[in-house]
Amino acid sequence: MKSKFSLLSKLLILQYLSVLCLSQDFDFFYFVQQWPGAYCDTKQSCCYPKTGKPTADFGIHGLWPNYKDGSWPSNCDPDSVFDKSQVSDLMSNMEKNWPSLSCPSSNGMRFWSHEWEKHGTCAESELDQHDYFETALKLKQKVNLLKALKDADIEPDDGFYSLESISDAIKQGTGFTPGIECNRDSAHNSQLYQVYMCVDTSGSDLIECPLLPKSKCGSQIQFPKF
């Protein structure tokens, strides 16, 4: 009898913690896009998706719930797994704008599953699975990073540009200050890798970032070809 009561207590506690995490609030989203040329131009290299080489444009990395103190929730609902049938109408758009470049080559399912299960489940109080992916795709159309950079004569031509000019160009194009993340190529050049924009909890509107991710960029950044 005692062991049954103990088991029941543990199950109730686990259920309570699951509900608590699921209903967990967050303060804003990071909407993160990555430049494929920088992803591929490292020692790690990359593998194109099974649909072929992506277009030379920024691709979605994710839509990540965050707190203003710099921390973030993750893996909030282990019972909510990625279900491609829920996003079947978005699939061609996701293949184009949210491609996976990791190896081995894939159809994107592993990448999207990871993003939903780690980040999307922590936004279920605002967005269901279909809404989550659709929201990120709509933000991609709203935040045209490549156009903003090209309008400022910043081209993916292996040239070097100042961190300030890149940030200013994106702010001019979007109306908001971005977070810039760099990685390094095999020659240890600092290169433009990811751009963070902040979005309200509904996923609808860009906002000024409560805090920006710490930049490890040099003062001069390479914008690699792809």
Instruction: Judge whether residue 169 has pLDDT over 60.
Output: yes
Supply the mean pLDDT for the chain.
92
pLDDT at 215: 85
| pLDDT tens per residue across span 48-102 | 999 999 999 999 999 999 999 999 999 999 999 999 999 999 999 999 999 999 9
**Catalytic residue at 119?**
yes
Catalytic residue among 61, 117, 126, 181: 61
Structure tokens at 118: 């780690």
- Identify the bridge partners of residue 197 per DSSP, sorted by sequence position: 31
Catalytic residue among 95, 114, 115, 188: 115
| pLDDT tens per residue across span 2-44 | 455 455 555 544 454 444 444 458 999 999 999 999 999 988 8
Structure tokens at 80: 């909510």
Average pLDDT score over residue span 153-174: 98
Cβ contact 47:102 at 8 Å: yes
Name which of 201, 206, 139 is nearest 171 in CA terms: 206
Name which of 194, 204, 225 is nearest 33 in CA terms: 194
Catalytic residue among 119, 124, 126, 134: 119
